[in-house]
Structure 1
Amino acid sequence: MSTRSSTLLLVSLVAGFGGFLFGYDTAVINGANQYLKAYFQLTPFQEGIAGASAILGCIPGAMFAGFLSDRFGRRRVLFLCAILYGVSAVWSAVPGSFIEFLIARFVGGLGIGASSMVCPVYIAELAPAARRGRLGSLFQFGIVLGIFLTLFVNALIQGLGDEAWNTARGWRWMLGAEALPALGLLGLLFAAPESPRWLLAAGREKEARGLLENVGGAAYANEEIAAARAAATGSGEGRFGELFGARFRTPLVIAVVLMAVSQFSGINAIMYYSTKIFTSAGVGVENAFSASVVVGLVNLVFTFVAMALVDRAGRRPLLLAGLALQVVALGAVGAMFFAGVSGLPLLIGVLVFIAAFAMALGPIPWIVCSEIFSTQLRGRAMSVATFVIWVSCYAVAQTFPMLNDNPAIGPGMTFFIYAACSLAGLVFVFVMLPETKGRTLEQLAAQWSVRAGKSSTSARN
């Protein structure tokens, strides 16, 4: 294998492993929950806290990872994430009390939040423009694969013993098994390079040049370094306040809205509560494992579709198509609930939404948000975007049961609300989002200066 291919493969594996751990950690609690409840004799409120403890860790993890990655580098923060995943896996498997378990899961959440911010940035800053979308999709593919395989890991461990064994020990193995991929990520990072654009921003041009030459040759390295120099607004780190200035106001709005819409379209309402929805569909899906496998398989297959199309069709067309299909699917599901339609039509409507999300709104916001900011601010900008997605995720997970079970709203109106959010996202993408495929990160960052200059000129006139 050539040095060029091996460097890209290594970085792709790091991003994929980061996504896999993200997916595993968020999904493993679903299999362990019932046994945790019995072991610790949890109240319904405590059971909810057990499920949400990792998500609560994601929020500060995302907030601080941007500053840390801009200051110390993407690779070093990913080292920290791998350690947090490993510590959380072992500690949550052998907690001395329920409080210790919550702390251990919170520690894992810090790793999820930080890696969900750093991984898309890390791969975007090294991938050639023509392949950046496909390689960037590997993070989302890792998430989906982690969620999907966790279902089978949980089922395999569950089958090793009876109910008593699972209550005493099975859930420990489910949670502790995460230590293996955490060690895998740690091992990869010892061989993985630092982001070349971070090296350039840190004044380490010689190292950056060598890495860029490994990826694309001497001419490619010269072009990338020249573009980075031309786009630089200063040396070292950018200031957090710059994100809210005229230059980056538009990309910040794009990042925040895309991340919020990705959650308020209702994806995690289905991922977390698929059993209730599929039971309403009445298609013979009798347990949570079977329902989750159906959703997970569709999610996995259509993530491949996104990977195949994102650098060919482009981010904007794929988002427009996916969001339009989401509006139709969610509206149809809402209408069927109102009309009392159950069975296969309702199931198909839910799965069409999953497919539309997986091929567009699932991976593309991560890609776009990692592309549209300057190197000096990319970490901080992704922290804001990732903070928004985790807060939105928590809000949806908390509000779905209340909306769904409220007699005045019910599942029909709930899905209409998600359809309306998807429609708002469709309009926003059509009006605000430029195409980013095939352009260097420096070209994408520079366009906001041009727009800000035009806006200032128009305002003066």
Structure 2
Amino acid sequence: MGAACFFFAALWSAFTYTPWTLIAARIVGGVGIGLASALAITYITECAPAKYRGTLSSAYQLLTILGIFLTNVINFGIANAGSLDWGINSGWRWMLGIGCIPAAIFFLALFLSPESPRFLIQSGREEEGFAILEKIGGTDEARREVADVKASIERDKNGKLTDLFKKPLLIPFLIGLLLAAFNQVGGQNAVSYYGPTMFKAALGNNIPNVEFLCSSLVGLVELIFTVVGMALIDKAGRKPLLVTSAAGMGVFAAIMAFAFHANIGWLVVAGACGFIACFAFGLGPVTWVMIPELFPTYMRGRASGLCTVLLWGINFCVGQFTPMMFEGWGGSGTFIFWMIMDFIGAISIAKFAPETKGKTLEEIQALWTK
């Protein structure tokens, strides 16, 4: 369903002729994002072996960043493919419509994907679930995991959504909400969404389409450091990466605030690269890895979904209010705000987040029942 929403939203966006139909098309695309982001990472988490779960789950973020990078490169190419008038009249339609191609690939690939083994076991289809787990980790590991999952399901078979609001699930739920919030209030999407506008304001119009060129550079940095995060997540651990990431973003937000204040265009771009690099190796991928890890099988999908709702809700606010912040506070004041949020995030994560590296999902669940 999410893939279908992506496909139709891309085509609809390309052929729309009024602002309201464009907004409607983007809302359909947003439904696709909500479905895919909440479910894909849960699916990966439930299929991955414990020792590789961080790396495999963070592949979700890597491919998201790869998509953003390719989008910036493609948009730069489209912007240079014709005149300014052509770009205003037709070029933007190509920028939006071309998204139907990866959406179609995603839709078709899903028919080759098996169901989550934990969902199958929970639904009484134990043999199917065992067969998938056996392919992933071997016979002995599959038997152990099936036993753990069945024990977890038996213990929680009478569970309800309201369990999230009382012990023992209240603690992991609050931690999940904390991670979801600081994934967005750190300010990285201010750069992702409004980078072209910021870079054009900082560097002027001396280089044609400089805003798309700089956005492509930032996207490349994000891609590289997402790979760094994938390499470290199952070695350094989740919590050290999160704390270092948030603190580093705070430092580079301070640099960008100074650069805007002093009107140093190249330092704005350099600061943005550092800012996004810190997000890419920590808060970006690790948030998506840890949130579904925190919850038992029967609650994982729903709890992860609620955390994702908060994440995208704050994302919406960042998208809506960043232009107002720039207009009212200027670039300097805006990044001082993000700096404060990042340092608060680093302190909060250091105090409350657990370490889940190397633990099975059932072992993580046991943390809340000790």
State the TM-score, normalizing by the size of structure 1: 0.75
Question: How do 1:289-304 and structure 2 match up within 5 A?
Answer: 289-304=212-227
Q: Which residue of 251, 262, 265 maps to 2:183?
A: 262
Pairwise CA distance, 1:277: 3.1
Task: Specify whether residues 217 and 369 from structure 1 end up closer, same or farther in structure 2 by C-alpha distance, changes over 3 A only.
Answer: same
Pairwise CA distance, 1:194: 0.4
**1:395 — aligned with what?**
317
Is the contact between residue 436 and residue 444 of structure 1 (CA under 8 Å) also seen in structure 2?
A: yes
**2:360 — aligned with what?**
440
Range moving further from structure 2, 346-355 or 203-212: 346-355
Following the alignment from structure 1 to structure 2, what is the Cα–Cα distance between the partners of residues 156 and 278? Answer: 18
Aligned-partner SS, 1:189: helix
Where does structure 2 lack aligned partners over 5 or more consecutive residues?
none
Letter in 2 for 1:231: S
Matched, 1:363 2:288: no
Pairwise CA distance, 1:329: 1.6
Following the alignment from structure 1 to structure 2, what is the Cα–Cα distance between the partners of residues 443 and 84? Answer: 36
Following the alignment from structure 1 to structure 2, what is the Cα–Cα distance between the partners of residues 163 and 349? Answer: 29
Following the alignment from structure 2 to structure 1, what is the Cα–Cα distance between the partners of residues 104 and 341? Answer: 39
**1:334 — aligned with what?**
257
Q: Which residue of 174, 189, 202 maps to 1:253?
A: 174
Is the contact between residue 231 and residue 446 of structure 1 (CA under 8 Å) also seen in structure 2?
A: no
Matched, 1:244 2:159: no
Aligned-partner SS, 2:16: coil
Following the alignment from structure 1 to structure 2, what is the Cα–Cα distance between the partners of residues 293 and 309? Answer: 25
Matched, 1:347 2:269: yes
Is the contact between residue 201 and residue 235 of structure 1 (CA under 8 Å) also seen in structure 2?
A: no
**2:75 — aligned with what?**
154
Is the contact between residue 93 and residue 172 of structure 1 (CA under 8 Å) also seen in structure 2?
A: yes
Question: How do 1:55-66 and structure 2 match up within 5 A?
Answer: none
Is the contact between residue 323 and residue 426 of structure 1 (CA under 8 Å) also seen in structure 2?
A: yes
Pairwise CA distance, 1:100: 3.1
**1:117 — aligned with what?**
38
**1:383 — aligned with what?**
305
Task: Specify whether residues 132 and 83 from structure 1 end up closer, same or farther in structure 2 by C-alpha distance, changes over 3 A only.
Answer: same
Following the alignment from structure 1 to structure 2, what is the Cα–Cα distance between the partners of residues 142 and 280? Answer: 30
Following the alignment from structure 2 to structure 1, what is the Cα–Cα distance between the partners of residues 201 and 99? Answer: 33
Is the contact between residue 336 and residue 412 of structure 1 (CA under 8 Å) also seen in structure 2?
A: yes
Following the alignment from structure 2 to structure 1, what is the Cα–Cα distance between the partners of residues 285 and 354? Answer: 17
**1:404 — aligned with what?**
326
User: How much is the aligned-residue C-alpha RMSD, in angstroms?
Assistant: 2.2
Pairwise CA distance, 1:114: 1.0
Q: Which residue of 134, 141, 146 maps to 2:62?
A: 141
Is the contact between residue 61 and residue 285 of structure 2 (CA under 8 Å) also seen in structure 1?
A: yes
Pairwise CA distance, 1:440: 0.6
Letter in 2 for 1:394: F
Is the contact between residue 94 and residue 172 of structure 1 (CA under 8 Å) also seen in structure 2?
A: yes
Task: Specify whether residues 279 and 424 from structure 1 end up closer, same or farther in structure 2 by C-alpha distance, changes over 3 A only.
Answer: same
For residues 380-436 of structure 1, the C-alpha deviation after alignment (integer angstroms, 9 at most, x for no partner) is: 111111111111111122222222222xx4332322221111111111111111111
Pairwise CA distance, 1:219: 0.2
Letter in 1 for 2:236: A
Pairwise CA distance, 1:218: 0.7
For residues 132-153 of structure 1, the C-alpha deviation after alignment (integer angstroms, 9 at most, x for no partner) is: 1111111111111111111232
Identity fraction in percent:
38
Where does structure 1 lack aligned partners over 5 or more consecutive residues?
1-79, 451-461
Pairwise CA distance, 1:166: 4.4
**1:305 — aligned with what?**
228
Pairwise CA distance, 1:122: 0.6
Pairwise CA distance, 1:363: 0.9
Pairwise CA distance, 1:98: 4.1
Pairwise CA distance, 1:336: 4.2
**Count of residue pairs the alignment pairs up:** 368
**1:26 — aligned with what?**
none
**2:346 — aligned with what?**
426
Following the alignment from structure 2 to structure 1, what is the Cα–Cα distance between the partners of residues 48 and 32? Answer: 23
Is the contact between residue 327 and residue 420 of structure 1 (CA under 8 Å) also seen in structure 2?
A: yes
Q: Which residue of 238, 244, 248 maps to 1:325?
A: 248
Is the contact between residue 280 and residue 342 of structure 1 (CA under 8 Å) also seen in structure 2?
A: no
Pairwise CA distance, 1:158: 4.2
Letter in 2 for 1:359: F
**1:30 — aligned with what?**
none
Is the contact between residue 265 and residue 419 of structure 1 (CA under 8 Å) also seen in structure 2?
A: yes
State the TM-score, normalizing by the size of structure 2: 0.92
Pairwise CA distance, 1:279: 4.2
Pairwise CA distance, 1:280: 5.3
Following the alignment from structure 2 to structure 1, what is the Cα–Cα distance between the partners of residues 268 and 28? Answer: 38
Task: Specify whether residues 332 and 112 from structure 1 end up closer, same or farther in structure 2 by C-alpha distance, changes over 3 A only.
Answer: same
For residues 33-63 of structure 1, the C-alpha deviation after alignment (integer angstroms, 9 at most, x for no partner) is: xxxxxxxxxxxxxxxxxxxxxxxxxxxxxxx
Task: Specify whether residues 183 and 403 from structure 1 end up closer, same or farther in structure 2 by C-alpha distance, changes over 3 A only.
Answer: closer
**1:176 — aligned with what?**
97
